[in-house]
Amino acid sequence: MKAKDKAPHIFRILHEQFPDAHCELIHNNAFELLIATVLSAQTTDVNVNKATPALFKKYPTAEKLAKAPLEKVEELVHSTGFYKTKAKNIIACAQKLVELYDGEIPRSIEELVVLPGVGRKTANVVLGNAFNINLGIVVDTHVNRISGLLGLTKNDDPVKIEKDLVKLFPNEHWTLISHLMIFLGRRVCIARRPQCEKCQLQSYCTYFEKKQAKDLKLSKAK
């Protein structure tokens, strides 16, 4: 089945399986989501969620974080890994927010990506989840891997994967399809040990189809 034909079925099944799929970075506003997403690079949402309550209690706005001592911020974000770089990035990000946008979070990818530590993926996270603006699809490690396994893309570059996915799903589903794939990746299609027997997408999964064919070939050879 072609990707464009199975994409609607994949969305429907995932939505039924994970009706509560959402951004798992805990945040109260767009500023907190932006900083949390920058901190989430190369670590888990769980680790970020452990660090951000104290960080945001101390520095709840861009104006306050912009003036924060580097050493103090390093201490607060230490558990997220690469803390020296991340502390510099979020302080610089806050400073740029104040300088360019009066401390407010802009609502376009072009304006967001000029902020230190912010790339297209982070911009899409903030726009989709804080403002319900769907300008693209977030392609993290889960979406990257699962979209390939399902046969929705043949690319491994996040930008190219995003271009493939936006052609397959309607605009209003762009933020949600990312969450759905992430939920699947964290709960069922786990890297290195995908639980295919528990997955409801077997009929639409290219990986499972190839796995079945391989198993059948092996069984006939015995």
Q: Which residues are catalytic?
A: 121, 140
Q: Of 190, 102, 193, 203, which is closest to residue 146 (Cα–Cα)?
A: 190
Q: Render the chain in DSSP notation, one character per residue.
A: --HHHHHHHHHHHHHHH-TT----S--SSHHHHHHHHHHTTTS-HHHHHHHHHHHHHH--SHHHHHT--HHHHHHHHGGGSSHHHHHHHHHHHHHHHHHHHTTPPPSSHHHHTTSTT--HHHHHHHHHHHS---SS----HHHHHHHHHTTS-S--SHHHHHHHHHTTS-GGGHHHHHHHHHHHHHHTS-TTS--GGG-TTGGG-HHHHHHHHHHHHHHHH-
- Judged on CB neighbours under 10 Å (0-12, 13-18, 19+), 208 is buried
